[in-house]
Structure 1
């Protein structure tokens, strides 16, 4: 069954303990990347180690520091258990987005505009998957970006096709339906299975 809103609490990562974030990422799947795919300059598996990526994530989240001026994502709790993560920051915080063709295909826009934020990753902890947690996480990311002064929020989700099998890793960027529910609209389709979606504030 999908999570009921009363079961969930979603907070900025700097208001969560680091151990909770580490439990969400685990040691497999997202635990290898540590949400650094768009952060590491170069090829992530060649130009960084797991220990470096973990240290980067810990610094970016500023976990356990509610007074921190910035953080790199939001943490979802289901009945007080750490259950999910969404990465949301100003788009300029992701160096690899500058060189990826996905955000820019068919578009002419200032890549250095700090007013545009981006959602780049979802992680749902094992044991909490399959219950629609990415939907409230996406909505929370929209609200968070708006509250922090963003002019717009973008996402780069996958288009899932009926009958076509997908793996968990393919949809770490989210799916189009998740962002549609949060109010984002498609602005371009750089590939058959990838879209750019956006909401203005």
Structure 2
């Protein structure tokens, strides 16, 4: 029997645990900053060390976004999962650049009461243990308890997916957590949502 994944807000986990989950490739290079980029910033314009510093501040208990920047999952004492979840308005790059959430919808992009799940990572060696499903499921209560009126995810379908896109989670993980399809803006992308 697989033990349950224990999930805590990022500001209750250690920086070392978060970095153990992200690793040094893929998510480790991004440091969950792709959708956090501000106006005029490009992903390649600052090194991984700067990205890591930004994530450290976002996950720090003293940072205003610390308690809501994400979640860390554990199997026993092992850090095994990361999930970025906070108000959609905190993701400047998501609001300005990423067109998927807005295709066919007329909605206020700056509405801080709608939260977004932008990254779901399972640590290498711990896949197929239900980590991503547990992480996505934990976002629901986390957002609702902090005043969200809705929460969204933007997973890629599992057909014709490349490794760099797996960080968005899977449709199955979101559906298992109670998210419902809002739209399918591209053949490979789904927008799912829960309204509270």
TM over 0.5: yes
1:104 is aligned to: 102
Deviation string 1:110-143 (CA, Å, 9 cap, x unpaired) is 1111100000001111111232210010000111
Q: CA RMSD in A?
A: 1.9
Q: CA deviation at 1:69?
A: 6.4
Aligned residue for 1:88, secondary structure, equals strand
2:74 is matched with which residue: 70, 73, 77? Answer: 77
1:147 is matched with which residue: 123, 137, 145? Answer: 145
Count of matched residue pairs: 193
Residues 85-96 of structure 1 mapped to structure 2, 5 A cutoff: 85-96=82-93
1:180 is aligned to: 175
Q: CA deviation at 1:159?
A: 1.2
Aligned residue for 1:38, secondary structure, equals helix
Deviation string 1:16-55 (CA, Å, 9 cap, x unpaired) is 111111111111121100000101233212x211111000
Residues 164-179 of structure 1 mapped to structure 2, 5 A cutoff: 164=160, 166-179=161-174
Contact 2:57/2:66, CA 8 A, preserved across alignment: no
Unaligned runs of 5+ in 2: none
Residues 1-201 of structure 1 mapped to structure 2, 5 A cutoff: 3-5=2-4, 8-41=5-38, 42-45=41-44, 47-62=45-60, 70-99=67-96, 100-161=98-159, 164=160, 166-201=161-196
Counterpart CA distance in 2 for 1:71 and 1:145 is: 8
Moved more, 181-190 or 168-177: 168-177
TM-score (norm 2): 0.92
Counterpart CA distance in 2 for 1:90 and 1:66 is: 15
Counterpart CA distance in 2 for 1:98 and 1:167 is: 23
Q: CA deviation at 1:190?
A: 1.0
Contact 1:11/1:75, CA 8 A, preserved across alignment: yes
Q: CA deviation at 1:169?
A: 2.5
Unaligned runs of 5+ in 1: none
Deviation string 1:43-76 (CA, Å, 9 cap, x unpaired) is 212x21111100000000115x699863310000
